Structure 1
Amino acid sequence: MTVEIVFALVTAALLAAVVFAAVFALALALGISGSAEKGVLAVGGLLAVTAGVWRLVRVLLRFNEQRRMGR
């Protein structure tokens, strides 16, 4: 089970980083600055955390389901 937990954590962190990087790149490309930039980055952080938690839960539930089926 340890390998599954590490896999879930690593892929969740990578997904969160990609989502945040995409939002950050969008903010840079649009030339947003000031409080609007802070707002966009806050939303990007929230989306990144949400995507990471979703991935973590999804992977762990999938591994649990496979374990119960005996695979």
Structure 2
Amino acid sequence: MGTRTRAQRDAMTIEIGYALLSAAVLAGVTFAAITAPWLLASPGLGPAVLFAGGAPAAVVFVLRIVHVLRGYRGAPGTRPSRPGRTGPGA
């Protein structure tokens, strides 16, 4: 595996940060959407309600990270210019 340029490392860092931030926001929205009806019905959240909201939120968090990072293709010029070729200039 070759060395990466500074721009490639920076692009990957930003992509990881975006994946984590968007996953956290989406998991928070999922948790709130599931637990809000119980919170409005009764002021206390029991362990079952926290689990009912936390488990899907954790799954959404992981799926979002996987989805974002699998879609990342790297900096321009790192992929072959034609499908089926192995080098950028091939």
TM bucket, shorter chain = 0.7 to 0.9
Taking structure 2 as the reference length, the TM-score comes to 0.62
1:14 aligned partner: 25
Identity of aligned residues (%): 39
- Which of 53, 64, 70 in structure 2 is aligned with 1:44? 53
Which residue number in structure 2 is paired with residue 4 of structure 1?
15
Of structures 1 and 2, the one with the larger relative CO (CA 8 A, separation 6+) is 1
RMSD over aligned CA atoms reads: 2.2
CA deviation map 1:13-42 (0-9, x unaligned): 0011111111221212343867xx421221
Structure 1 segments, 4+ long, off by >6 Å, are: none
> Any stretches of 5+ residues in structure 1 without a counterpart?
none
* Higher Rg of the two aligned structures: 2
Q: Structure 2 CA distance, aligned partners of 1:69 and 1:18?
A: 35
Q: How many residues align?
A: 66
Asked if 2 retains the 8 angstrom alpha-carbon contact of 1:23 and 1:41, the reply is no
Residue 27 (structure 1) aligns with? 38
